[in-house]
């Protein structure tokens, strides 16, 4: 399998962690791929994801699978270690929390586009504040629900780990350390070999 890949994409990181945790990483070739919402990438949007987003997973038969959530579920369906997405009634909580953590990423990525990619004279503080608010509201929820951070490893925990890792990577000045429960959990979770092996560049 081939994974459209960038070292800095937190969505790619989530997929890589799932692959490592399920013992599938050796089956996946990482294909460096650069995408940006304001730039064309005709080769990738033709052969990979027409939306110009990464990751996308190309199977050996040629079929292409995305987005990151679908890829994680696909990897979870292959023979491997313990399931990351439960099939029982807890499935809906895990998938909802996965989307909540992905929503932190979406908000932070939108914030980065607003404060880094967009020309300075076209930035809108209401938009940046709105995206920060979404991220912090999601953090409030996670801080108030410690039960999701315990128990067997699942996709929601991996997604939360990637969100906090991306936050530290891109927004070190935007302090979230007031969330003492999340802070303690992340200090431990980020030591997992799968997290260590997928750290964004320094």
Binding site for a second copy (CB under 8 A): 37-40, 45, 49-53, 63-67, 69-70, 73-74, 92-93, 95-96, 99-100, 103, 106-107, 113, 118-119, 122-124, 126-127, 129-131, 133-134, 137-138, 140-141
Q: How far is the CB of 106 from a second copy (least distance, A)?
A: 8
Q: How far is the CB of 36 from a second copy (least distance, A)?
A: 8
Q: Which residues pair with 65 in a beta bridge?
A: 57
Q: How far is the CB of 109 from a second copy (least distance, A)?
A: 12
Q: How far is the CB of 165 from a second copy (least distance, A)?
A: 19
| CA 142/CA 189 separation, integer angstroms | 15
Residue number with CB closer to a second copy (73 or 200): 73
Q: How far is the CB of 61 from a second copy (least distance, A)?
A: 10
Q: Are 5 and 55 in contact (CB under 8 A)?
A: yes
Task: Give buried/exposed letters for 78-90 (b at 16+ CB in 10 A, else e).
Answer: eebeebbbbeeee
In the chain the first and final C-alpha atoms are separated, in Å, by: 28
Residue number with CB closer to a second copy (123 or 183): 123
Residue number with CB closer to a second copy (113 or 200): 113
Residue number with CB closer to a second copy (17 or 105): 105
Residue number with CB closer to a second copy (93 or 192): 93
């Amino acid at each position: 399998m081939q994974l459209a890949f960038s070292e800095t994409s937190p969505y790619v990181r989530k997929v890589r962690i799932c692959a490592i945790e399920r013992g599938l990483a050796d089956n996946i070739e990482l294909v460096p791929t650069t995408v940006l919402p304001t730039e064309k990438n005709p080769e990738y949007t033709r052969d990979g994801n027409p939306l110009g987003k990464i990751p996308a997973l190309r199977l050996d038969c040629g079929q292409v699978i995305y987005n990151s959530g679908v890829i994680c579920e696909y990897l979870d369906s292959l023979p491997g270690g313990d399931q990351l997405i439960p099939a029982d009634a807890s499935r809906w909580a895990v998938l909802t929390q996965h989307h909540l953590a992905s929503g932190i990423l979406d908000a932070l990525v939108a914030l980065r586009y607003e404060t880094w990619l967009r020309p300075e004279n076209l930035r809108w503080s209401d938009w940046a504040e709105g995206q920060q608010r979404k991220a912090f509201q999601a953090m409030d929820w996670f801080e108030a629900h410690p039960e999701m951070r315990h128990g067997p490893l699942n996709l929601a925990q991996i997604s939360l780990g990637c969100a906090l890792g991306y936050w530290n990577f891109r927004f070190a000045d935007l302090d979230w350390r007031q969330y003492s429960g999340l802070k303690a959990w992340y200090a431990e979770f980020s030591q997992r070999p799968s997290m260590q092996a997928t750290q964004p560049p320094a």
